[in-house]
């Protein structure tokens, strides 16, 4: 495991030079234990104060191939929260690639700052220099708060970026297709038919992925109830797909068949589990479980959970097409295979009487162990 910083000014102390006492406190609080908890190979901190760039890149595992994961730009409450987020997200990417059968490792990056910042070229070119310092061990793409046009700025400083305009482009449609197919697999396992016609689906977050998911569900005849912090996005889905809109907090208490979290993570938690009244949780958001024990609670309640990194791998499949030279048809075919992946996860969970998130972990870890053994042979 390696850690590096371009600047002596620490990201973990609000951008100011830390005192000896502050450094000691960070160590006492288990900073390096946090980084080492899931055996991350490398965590890199990079700061360019002249443009306001503050970025963290986390490479979790490269056994199966170079780490690929998007760049998230977000306003975090503090820098430690950003570090925790990138560590969780990068680990999820390792498992996502492994379960999806891709020859990729897991990585992720976050830029700490306002996702609506106008100073994009300077910030993202700085990020490109950061990515380039990894020498191909990490490949980035767009994510929450970033776009293909931002990745164009990144590409001026490094070749290790995918999801560019004119290539694989926006991964949202492929992500949505995979989530839709995974949702059908859950229906098949639970109700004996993969038809979603007549089912009530609550969709939390109707940005790009949520919008395309709603489109698939509407075309099949599902009843949609949606929420988003952006009222205009809700209005679009209500107008185009006949959905009903509810408040951001109200979405959890809606009596429905399926809950599809398609916004940020940690939405399955102690508070939401008290009011959630669905039979299936299947959505596009990363890190939907605030803690693993919440997956255990879903299992105990008899709620079928489609592990997030297994069902939302369509976006990774989309950008992997650039790495492998696939056309769009092949990407869509691979994303549709998420149906079979989710059925395999559910079958293992049923056979072993374990929560589905543990079953997905076992499948991912088995592939990584097999690859490790082949390398050593």
Instruction: Note the pLDDT tens digit of each residue in 191-227.
Output: 999 999 999 999 999 999 999 999 999 999 999 999 9
pTM: 0.84
Strands 53-61 and 105-112, bridge-based pairing:
antiparallel
Domains of the chain: 2-94+103-155 (3.40.50.10860), 172-365 (3.40.50.720)
Which residue is it, tokens 């992925």? 209
Residue 24 reports pLDDT greater than 60? no
d(CA 17, CA 149): 33
When pLDDT is averaged across residues 60-89 and rounded to a whole number, the result is 93
When pLDDT is averaged across residues 67-72 and rounded to a whole number, the result is 95
pLDDT score of 74: 95
In the beta sheet, which residues pair with residue 142?
Answer: 71
pLDDT score of 39: 85
When pLDDT is averaged across residues 144-150 and rounded to a whole number, the result is 90
pLDDT score of 8: 29
CB-based contact 206:237 (threshold 8 Å): yes
CB-based contact 179:213 (threshold 8 Å): yes
Catalytic residues: 108
CB-based contact 180:174 (threshold 8 Å): no
Integer angstrom CA distances of residue 311 from 131, 163, 196, 282, 340 = 27, 20, 16, 7, 10
What tokens were used for 248?
């951001």
Q: How confident is the model at residue 362 (pLDDT cuts 50, 70, 90)?
A: very high
Integer angstrom CA distances of residue 21 from 29, 79, 84, 167 = 12, 18, 22, 49
* Beta-carbon-side half-sphere exposure of residue 317 (alpha carbons within 13 Å): 29
Nearest in space to 260 (alpha carbons), one of 199, 331, 189: 199
């Amino acid at each position: 495991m390696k850690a590096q910083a371009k600047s002596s000014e620490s990201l973990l102390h609000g951008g100011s030079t830390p005192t000896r006492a502050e450094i000691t406190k960070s160590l006492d609080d288990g900073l390096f234990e946090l980084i080492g908890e899931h055996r991350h190979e490398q965590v890199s901190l990079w700061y360019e104060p002249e443009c306001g760039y503050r970025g963290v890149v986390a490479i979790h595992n490269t056994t199966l191939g170079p780490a690929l994961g998007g760049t998230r730009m977000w306003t975090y409450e503090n820098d430690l929260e950003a570090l925790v987020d990138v560590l969780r997200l990068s680990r999820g990417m390792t498992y996502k690639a492994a379960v999806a059968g891709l020859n990729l490792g897991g990585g992720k990056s976050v830029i700490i700052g306002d996702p609506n910042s106008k100073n994009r070229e300077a910030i993202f070119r700085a990020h490109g220099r950061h990515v380039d310092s990894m020498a191909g061990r990490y490949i980035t793409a767009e994510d929450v708060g970033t776009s293909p046009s931002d990745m164009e700025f990144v590409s001026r400083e490094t070749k290790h970026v995918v999801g560019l305009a004119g290539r694989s482009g926006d991964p949202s449609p492929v992500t949505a297709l995979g989530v839709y197919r995974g949702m059908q697999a859950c229906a098949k396992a639970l109700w004996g038919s993969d038809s979603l016609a007549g089912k009530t689906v609550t969709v939390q977050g109707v940005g790009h992925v949520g919008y395309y998911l709603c489109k698939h569900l509407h075309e099949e005849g599902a009843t949609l109830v949606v929420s988003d912090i952006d009222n205009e996005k809700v209005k679009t889905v209500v107008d185009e797909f006949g959905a009903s809109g509810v408040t951001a907090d109200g979405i959890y208490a809606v009596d429905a068949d399926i809950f599809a979290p398609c916004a940020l993570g940690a939405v399955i938690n102690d508070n939401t589990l008290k009011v959630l009244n669905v039979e299936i949780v299947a959505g596009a958001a990363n890190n939907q479980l605030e803690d693993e024990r919440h997956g255990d609670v879903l299992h105990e309640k008899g709620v079928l959970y489609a592990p997030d990194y297994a069902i939302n791998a369509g976006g990774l499949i989309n950008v992997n097409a650039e790495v492998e030279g696939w056309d769009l048809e092949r990407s869509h075919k691979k994303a549709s295979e998420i149906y079979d992946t989710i059925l395999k996860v559910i079958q293992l969970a049923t056979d072993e009487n374990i929560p589905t998130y543990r079953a997905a972990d076992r499948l991912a870890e088995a592939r990584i162990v097999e690859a490790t053994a082949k390398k050593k042979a």
